[in-house]
């Protein structure tokens, strides 16, 4: 029986409150068999590292019998409502005009439904808005002011998302844009905070039912209206009940061009282990990267992380550069594990990534 609007609002409030390198080369670098991450338990949750608290909460809900999508959205709500986390939701770093614009998307494997929201303002939990779009409309994506109107109609409460802390980061960035303007630079040693942080979470329960969700505030100080990969079905996340689920964090523009979420799941469908599928997708991203973002040896001047979960519970993650981690929760508990990688951290190109351009005022 479909939920009433009143039931949806009650559930929303409750959730908020509870807050090409080959496989052989990869194994040689890490000295870890690609298939090692498969356990006896089928049920499992995989997330970006900032979702460690979230996977623990989602696992509790999964064991209680909650739906996989409800569980992981409750997990990412923890970060969305954490004012100290400047990469998602409340306290997220704003665009260049000082406005926080949020993106999110979700997919529900059993029903093969999806929802997404882009550039929404003043709503701290875009993941729940994405689910409301999935549940209550015949559409998949709503954006901008109309997405906010929809959220308000659904009973979401608007609030100011720019916190004093994130505003100070934005003021420092703005003051240092152009030495010839009339704004005084901050006289301190605090580095300007940049982020393109995101949280992705994927789940499978004991019945093999899968779901995925990704939510973000996007690149810090982005051009107003910019939408990254997080709300793009098939890029920021993808879930196919017959094969698996995958998502990513990092440079969204690179992921969009490679259709990273879809491609990773498709590689798993073809028989690749999740870890290997992540690596192959990263290879595709490198091949799709424009010259200005590559160093002289063809290595990208950005990092990106992919997280994958197969229908049978196998899981894995890979980063463009060494040092990546991810969060996992299953019957052995919630923990952080090391991700595979394409390049060693010592190989990371020097020099700034030419994607932040100062704008004269």
What's the chain's Rg over C-alpha atoms? 20
Distance (Å, rounded) from C-alpha 52 to C-alpha 47?
A: 7
Which of helix, strand or coil describes residue 305?
strand
State how far the alpha carbon of 325 is from the alpha carbons of 49, 107, 180, 328, in Å: 6, 24, 41, 10
Give the active site residue among 195, 198, 214, 215: 198
Residue 198 designated active-site: yes
Tokens of 150: 């929809």
State how far the alpha carbon of 333 is from the alpha carbons of 43, 106, 190, in Å: 12, 24, 37
Half-sphere exposure of 290 (CA within 13 A, CB side): 7
Tokens of 315: 């899981």
DSSP 8-state class, residue 292: G
Q: What is the dihedral of CA 129, 131, 135, 141, to 10 degrees?
A: 70
**Which residues are annotated as catalytic?**
198
């Amino acid at each position: 029986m479909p939920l009433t609007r009143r039931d949806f609002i009650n559930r929303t409030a409750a959730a908020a409150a509870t807050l090409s390198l080959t496989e052989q080369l990869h194994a040689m670098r890490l000295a870890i068999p690609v298939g090692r991450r498969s356990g006896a338990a089928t049920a499992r949750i995989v997330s970006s590292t900032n979702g460690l608290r979230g996977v623990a909460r989602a696992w509790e809900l999964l064991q209680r019998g909650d739906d996989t999508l409800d569980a992981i959205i409750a997990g990412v709500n923890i970060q969305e409502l954490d004012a100290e986390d400047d990469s998602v939701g409340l306290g997220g770093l704003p665009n260049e005009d000082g406005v926080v614009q949020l993106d999110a998307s979700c997919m529900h494997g059993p029903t093969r439904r999806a929802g997404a929201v882009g550039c929404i303002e003043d709503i701290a939990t875009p993941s729940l808005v994405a689910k409301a779009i999935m549940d209550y409309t015949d559409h998949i994506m709503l954006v901008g002011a109309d997405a906010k109107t929809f959220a308000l109609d659904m009973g979401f409460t608007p609030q100011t998302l720019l916190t004093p802390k994130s505003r100070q980061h934005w003021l420092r960035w703005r003051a240092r844009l152009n030495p010839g303007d009339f704004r005084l630079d901050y006289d301190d040693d605090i580095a300007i905070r940049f982020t393109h942080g995101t949280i992705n979470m994927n789940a499978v329960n004991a019945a093999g039912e899968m779901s995925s969700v990704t939510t973000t505030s996007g690149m810090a100080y982005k051009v107003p209206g910019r939408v990254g990969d997080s709300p793009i079905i098939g890029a920021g996340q993808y879930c196919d009940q017959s094969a698996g689920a995958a998502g990513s964090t990092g440079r969204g523009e690179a992921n969009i061009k490679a259709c990273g979420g879809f491609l990773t799941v498709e590689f798993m469908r073809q028989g690749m282990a999740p870890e290997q599928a992540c690596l192959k997708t990263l290879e595709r991203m490198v091949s799709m990267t424009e010259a200005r973002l590559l160093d002289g040896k063809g290595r990208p001047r950005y990092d990106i992380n992919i997280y994958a979960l197969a229908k049978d519970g196998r899981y894995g993650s890979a980063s463009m550069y060494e040092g990546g981690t991810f969060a996992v929760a299953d019957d052995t508990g919630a923990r952080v594990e090391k991700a595979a990688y394409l390049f060693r951290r010592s190989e990371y190109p020097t020099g700034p990534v030419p994607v932040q351009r100062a704008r004269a005022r």
